[in-house]
Each structure stands twice: as C-alpha cells, then as structure tokens.
C-alpha cells in the first residue's frame, strides 16, 4: 500500500490503514519530509499496537516530478496506491482575504475540475509506464476526475468517499427504522458527488449550480429480501444527519477509502460503493476484488440508465459533459460565474490545456 499526499485527509487514511491486518506493507509519501516521517513513524507504532502492517515506512515524492514518481512506483510496485494529494482542497480557499474567499465559495464545484485533474493525471501517466499492475484509488473529486481521464486511458481504478458515505447513512438509518442489524440491510445506490450535499447538511456549503431542483439519484434498500417503499427510501436519503463540521468529516472519507482498499486487496468479491469505477461518471454499487471491479446495480436498472443518472447529476456540479476526446464542457452557470468572479469565462477545456487552465484558475483565484 502506498498513500501519496499526507495532508489532513491523506494522514487520516494512513492512520486508518495502519490498523488493518490485510495490509502487509504501508508506505506514506509526501513532499514535506520531516512532517511525513513524523506521521509514518506514528503509523508504525499504531500498526505495532493493533496488529496492523508489519512494515511501515516513508518515501519522498513530488507528483509534479513525473520521472521521479515513476522511479518510486517502479521500485515499490504497490498493489494499491491511494492518491490523496491535491492542489486545492474543498476546505481551504486559495484567496487570502475573506471577502474574496466568500465569492469563490459561490462558484460551482466543477469549476475546479482542471485543478483536480492535473495532479491525478501526472500520477496516472507515471503509473501506466512504471507500475501498470498497481491500482490507483484517487480521492480528489473522483466522480469527475475519473471521467475526464478515461478518454486518455488514464482513469484511476476507483475513487473513494462521496457515495460510500451516503450508502452508509442509508444502511444505518434503515437498520434503525426496522430495528435490525445493519449487516442485514442491502443498499444499492447510484449517486454523483453533486447529490451528497443534499443528503448531508455538513456538505451543503459545497457550491452547486441549482438551489431548488433536486439532483437525480437512484436507490433501492432491501431488508431480508424485501424492498422498502420508494417514499421510505427517499425520506431516509433526505433525513437530516448530523456530522461534525469542517475537516473532521475526513475520518468518514478515510473509512470509505479503507473500505475500497480492503476490497481491492481481497480474493473474494466484496460489495462496496465507490465513485468512478474505471472512469465512469459518479458513483455506483460494485463488486470489487483483486480480480475484478464490476457494477452491482439495483434490479431493473440497466448500466446505461445508471450512467445517465450520474451524467445528469454532474450538471449540478457545473459539468455539462465530457466529450469522447476528454474535453471538459462546463455549464452556462460555470461560464457566467467564472466570468463575473474570476474574469475568465470557463466554457471548454481540452486535455492539452488542463495544466495551463489549472494554473490560471489558481492564479486568478488567489489575486
């Protein structure tokens, strides 16, 4: 296991993996060598105390240095790479003053897709040449990053978080409603990142492009083989659920990441929810193991229908579509908002322009 990017989220993923016996060797990698060594040193002690990985270590990496990243991947040949590094996190504004930060928070979330794609693309290019057997779980905005990289043959195997968190909410609430163990609840959810802010009030501040319209999603919940009524499922999805504010929710995302990683390491297929399997838009119920990543859709829902639900939902994040050549087409809401706030009407970005657009977005945002 290799965890790249030991910021707030990546460090929590590292600690969560340090207690898992399924992981034999765990490497934490980051640019800040002193801090990263402190984190991995603590993870080694946690592993010893809990029966976790037998070998925990550190590697220095800068994803933007693709050649060095490729050498590291070739040397380690990890089974799974968790990519947690990001140029822009959801909780930290690139602007220095609060007034400008407040305006930036009104931008549709998908505005920042080029920024999120750039680092993941660099990692995937290094991985494809140096360690093609390694499977990447990418955490930055996976519901859209995966589809943006899929036409280039560079999609990560999976994302993590988002849909898994809402699926867990549905399972816990359904179990409480019918007074049964959560393990007896079968949840099958099709959901894009854009809908999570409607399921959890803690994420309502993640700007979308609609205020009153509901973002589409599909879910079926079965209890001992019997499906709950659609109106009950709907009530559970929208029922208020308290989460801690700010980055404390990274513990939840870390748990969802561990869930995906353990499935990828397993011999037997495991049922999980995760975003962007093989670069599909949005999140899906899946069967995941060392050998396979396959859709495990609700009965009666076809693959094309599930994908269409998530592609429609992506518009509520500001992403109109991703073309067959990887060009990102933004909604009119994004073009209008970026024109007003950044002085840049973001309409279309081709794969060749991703890096330059990311730099320009961050530069204009920080002014």
Could you state, in chain order, the average pLDDT of each consecutive group of 10 residues for the chain (367 residues)? Answer: 97 98 97 95 98 97 95 97 93 78 91 96 96 97 98 98 97 92 92 96 79 86 93 97 94 98 97 98 98 96 98 97 98 96 96 96 89
Domain assignment present for 322 = no
Same domain, 282 and 347: no
Q: Which domain holds residue 220?
A: 163-317
Asked whether 317 and 207 are in contact (CB, 8 A), the reply is no
Same domain, 236 and 118: no
Q: What is the pLDDT of residue 210?
A: 63
Given strand 218-223, what is the order of strands in its sheet? Answer: 185-190, 218-223, 226-227
* pTM for this predicted structure: 0.96
Same domain, 16 and 140: yes
CATH number of the domain residue 179 falls in: 3.90.110
Same domain, 20 and 142: yes
Q: What is the pLDDT of residue 234?
A: 97
Domain assignment present for 337 = yes
Q: What is the pLDDT of residue 211?
A: 57
Same domain, 9 and 151: yes
Same domain, 33 and 52: yes
Q: What is the pLDDT of residue 212?
A: 55
Same domain, 351 and 305: no
284: which residues sit within 8 A by CB, 6+ positions away? 163, 190, 273, 274, 277, 295, 296, 297, 306, 310
Rounded distance, CA 110 to CA 331, Å?
9
- Please give the tally of structural domains in the chain: 3
Same domain, 186 and 311: yes
Same domain, 92 and 215: no
Same domain, 12 and 150: yes
- End residue of a domain, out of 144, 159, 174: 159
């Amino acid at each position: 296991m290799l965890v790249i990017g030991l910021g707030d989220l990546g460090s929590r993923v590292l600690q969560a993996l340090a207690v898992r016996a399924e992981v034999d060797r765990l490497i934490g990698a980051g640019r800040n060598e002193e801090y990263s060594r402190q984190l991995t040193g603590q993870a080694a002690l946690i592993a010893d105390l809990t029966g976790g990985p037998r070998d925990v270590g550190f590697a220095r990496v800068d994803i933007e240095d693709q050649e060095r990243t490729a050498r590291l991947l070739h040397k380690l040949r990890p089974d799974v790479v968790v990519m947690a590094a990001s140029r822009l996190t959801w909780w930290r504004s690139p602007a220095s003053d609060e007034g400008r930060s407040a305006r930036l928070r009104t931008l549709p979330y998908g505005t920042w897709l080029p920024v999120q794609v750039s680092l993941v693309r660099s990692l995937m290019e290094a991985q494809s040449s140096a360690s093609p057997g390694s499977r990447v779980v990418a955490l930055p905005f996976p519901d859209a990053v995966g589809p943006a990289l899929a036409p280039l043959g560079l999609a990560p195997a999976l994302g993590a978080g988002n849909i898994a968190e809402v699926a867990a909410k549905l399972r816990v609430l359904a179990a409480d409603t019918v007074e049964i163990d959560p393990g007896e609840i079968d949840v099958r959810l099709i959901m894009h990142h854009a809908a999570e802010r409607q399921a959890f009030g803690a994420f309502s501040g993640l700007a979308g492009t609609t205020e009153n319209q509901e973002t589409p999603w599909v879910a079926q919940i079965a209890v001992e083989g019997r499906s709950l009524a659609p109106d009950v499922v709907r009530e559970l999805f929208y029922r208020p659920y308290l989460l801690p504010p700010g980055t404390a929710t990274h513990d939840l995302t870390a748990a969802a990441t561990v869930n995906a990683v353990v499935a990828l390491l397993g011999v037997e297929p495991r049922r999980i929810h995760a975003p962007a399997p093989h670069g599909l838009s949005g999140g899906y119920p899946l069967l995941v193991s060392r050998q396979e990543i396959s859709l495990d859709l609700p009965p009666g829902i076809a693959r094309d229908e599930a994908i269409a639900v998530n592609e429609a939902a992506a518009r509520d994040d500001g992403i109109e579509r991703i073309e067959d050549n990887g060009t990102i087409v933004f909604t009119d809401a994004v073009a209008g908002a970026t024109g007003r706030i950044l002085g840049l009407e973001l309409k279309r970005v081709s794969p060749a322009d991703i890096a330059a657009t990311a730099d320009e977005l961050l530069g204009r945002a920080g002014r």
